[in-house]
């Protein structure tokens, strides 16, 4: 028996990708559209979405675009009503949109809103989208929710407290939901993504000193998750960090503390204004 391909997994299915206008989301959209899926992209920027649609069209495929602010959870029900009215039920939801803030906790003493807005998009936005597609998945007894998380949850990355906390919440929800909906043949996958070369990491200097993955390679990881339905996808470094922290928490904390002391908050994190970026991008602005 031949191995199942991405075309086997998605041909004729409807896939919704949040944060689909650039980076990982756009790379995944190109893969699934090429494989025969009805591809729906949701992101905040209208122009970026149109560019993504045009880029996919230039490859000979089609994408449907819906601009929306996914941090405005009250508006998402109307968004999903419109999408499902236009295209029917969602077969695969990929919660990819995210906001990342690189700022130490000490620099955040008077910035509680950093934690609020990161949680609003990364957790509550993804959660709301998931809750809106689940009823139809349960009714049809099929569906797959893929949540793009971060290796930072596994290795406890210093200066990313807000981001890691929001992704940790999504990870915990995913584990519980996976157990509850297994009886309904609805699958959940967490992708603990390593650092990827996208606009999210562009504003920070540290990204030039650490290994990064291309969006195309990240899309390949997500494609394999679509095909195989694993509970979690991660890298060797992610598993290693998780195991080492579990076995040697004190030593690991000392190493993380040393790493923290050897680096600094970026200029933007310290309050120097930089161009603001949006969904699926790094947020270091001083606002």
The edge-to-edge listing of strands for the beta sheet with 232-233 is 63-67, 38-43, 14-18, 92-95, 143-150, 186-193, 232-233
Return the closest-CA partner of residue 62 out of 82, 87, 45: 87
Annotated catalytic residue within 61, 123, 163, 245? 163
Instruction: Please report, for the chain, how many H helices and E strands are present, in that order.
Output: 11, 9
**For residue 172, what is the enclosing H or E element?**
helix 161-181
Q: Active site includes 163?
A: yes
> Rounded CA gap, 38 and 12, in Å?
7
Return the closest-CA partner of residue 153 out of 140, 141, 163: 163
Q: How far is CA 277 from CA 71, 86, 106, 141, 232, in A?
A: 14, 30, 23, 39, 29
HSE-up (13 A, CA, CB side) for residue 151:
16
> Rounded CA gap, 93 and 147, in Å?
8
The residues annotated as belonging to the active site are 163
């Amino acid at each position: 028996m031949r191995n199942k391909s991405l075309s086997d997994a998605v041909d004729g299915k409807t896939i919704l990708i949040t944060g689909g206008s650039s980076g990982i989301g756009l790379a995944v959209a190109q893969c699934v559209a090429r494989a025969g899926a009805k591809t729906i992209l949701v992101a905040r920027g209208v122009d970026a979405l149109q560019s993504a649609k045009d880029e996919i069209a230039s490859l000979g495929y089609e994408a449907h675009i819906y601009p929306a602010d996914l941090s405005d959870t009250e508006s998402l029900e109307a968004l999903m009503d419109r999408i499902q009215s236009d295209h029917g039920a969602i077969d695969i939801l990929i919660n990819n949109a995210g906001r990342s803030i690189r700022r130490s906790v000490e620099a955040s003493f008077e910035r509680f809103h950093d934690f609020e807005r990161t949680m609003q998009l990364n957790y509550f936005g993804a959660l709301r989208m998931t809750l809106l597609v689940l009823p139809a998945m349960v009714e049809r007894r099929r569906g797959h929710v893929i949540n793009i998380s971060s290796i930072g949850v596994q290795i406890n990355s210093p200066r990313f407290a807000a981001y890691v906390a929001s992704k940790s919440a999504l990870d915990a929800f995913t584990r519980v939901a996976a157990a509850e909906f297994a009886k309904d043949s609805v699958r959940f996958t967490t992708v603990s993504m390593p650092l990827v070369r996208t606009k999210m990491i562009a504003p920070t200097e540290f990204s030039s000193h650490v290994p990064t993955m291309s969006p195309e390679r990240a899309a390949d990881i997500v494609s394999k998750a679509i095909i195989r339905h694993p509970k979690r996808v991660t890298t060797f470094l992610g598993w290693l960090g998780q195991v080492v922290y579990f076995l040697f928490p004190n030593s690991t904390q000392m190493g993380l503390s040393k790493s923290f002391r050897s680096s600094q908050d970026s200029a933007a994190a310290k309050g120097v204004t930089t161009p603001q970026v949006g969904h699926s991008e790094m947020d270091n602005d001083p606002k």
